[in-house]
Amino acid sequence: MPNRPHFDAIEVKGGGDAASAARAVLQTGEYDFAWNLQVEDDVLKRMENGGKGRVIVSPGGALEFVELAWHDPWVEVEGERGSAKSRHPVWRDPALRQAMNLLLDRQAVQDYVYGRAGIATGSVINNPARFRSPNTKFEFNVDKANAVLDAAGWKRGGDGIREKDGRKLRFVFQTSINSARQKAQQIVKQACQKAGMDIELKGVVAAVYFGADVANPDTNSKFWVDMQMYTQNMGPPDPGRFMDRYVSWEFATKANKWQGRNISRWRHEEYDQLYRAAEVELDPVKRIAHFIRMNDLLAGDNHVLPLVYRPQVAGANRNLVLSLSGWANDLTSVHSWYRDG
């Protein structure tokens, strides 16, 4: 039909990894388009230079974050491991969670890993701008983290690892196998070592980590480790479906085959009440205030630790004309879009 985009044929390829998909579009030109390229920005830039494709960065609200287990992932309660009825033996200490928040070098993750594709943040909701809280900030400060742990009674042992009441600060930190995520894990681990925490890094094949196999112990929804990292996608521009991941009726449990949206098992009575109120609030200003308060409760409790928010990153053949082509193509214009809403 005239004046309408069309293709004689479409070939879709799945599987593989983000770097391979980027290479097939940006470098070799084997394919015309690749979606969700979670690849270090310096690698993408090298592929772009002299290649056959271009990187398209468009606004979004996805959040890459570190999640601390509310539950105890190592014991069973009523026949269920990692039950929402349990509490983590050390993360229940708010001082320890505060210290971990101070040990996340978000700016380094942006500067040395994600670049255009991940912007440092301390907020859960980052877009649309009208829902973004003016109250949340982030700080990387190893000295302050050490002071917080000292004051809370976590003393260094002979091996340099802090402990209290017979429990050492040794944690298993998992995420999916992806070069960008493994680099972010290393940044977190190095800072934690300086504060007397021992972090064991665990990588899980993405198809398993994000899978729904109820028999597999390594899915992120089971969350059978102390801490984990992944991306929470925004989807619609309204945060309603984004923030229901932290209401108590959405716990991931054995009964629902770990398909509940609240993977962290975090709970807060006021948060539940605010979410219910937002569901029926017709005044847009009041509804925005509800979500800002929810964001502040979640970010302030330090069980969910925002790391970077992720614009949508795709690769396209230089000859492919896209409706996205007028959108932000560099970090400056992405920042401008977020600032202007």
Domains of the chain by start residue, with CATH: 61-311 (3.10.105.10)
Return left, alpha or beta for 50; rule: phi > 0 is left, psi -120 to 50 is alpha, else beta: left
Place of tokens 């949206």: 261
Our CA dihedral for 24, 25, 31, 35, rounded to 10 degrees, sits at 100
With residue 305 as reference, give the H or E element that holds it: strand 304-317
DSSP 71: S
Nearest of 148, 140, 144, 141 to residue 169 by alpha carbon: 148
* Dist. CA 25–CA 18, nearest whole Å: 11
Q: Could you read off the pLDDT tens digit of each residue along the chain, which spans 341 residues?
A: 666 666 777 788 777 788 888 889 888 888 889 988 888 888 888 888 877 888 888 878 899 999 999 999 999 999 999 999 999 999 999 999 999 999 999 999 999 999 988 999 999 999 999 999 999 999 999 999 999 999 999 999 999 999 999 999 999 999 999 999 999 999 999 999 999 999 999 999 999 999 999 999 999 999 999 999 999 998 888 999 999 999 999 999 999 999 999 999 999 999 999 999 999 999 999 999 999 999 999 999 999 999 999 888 888 888 777 654 344 333 333 333 332 33
Nearest of 341, 340, 326 to residue 57 by alpha carbon: 326
* Dist. CA 221–CA 268, nearest whole Å: 19
The pLDDT score that the predictor gives to residue 16 is: 76
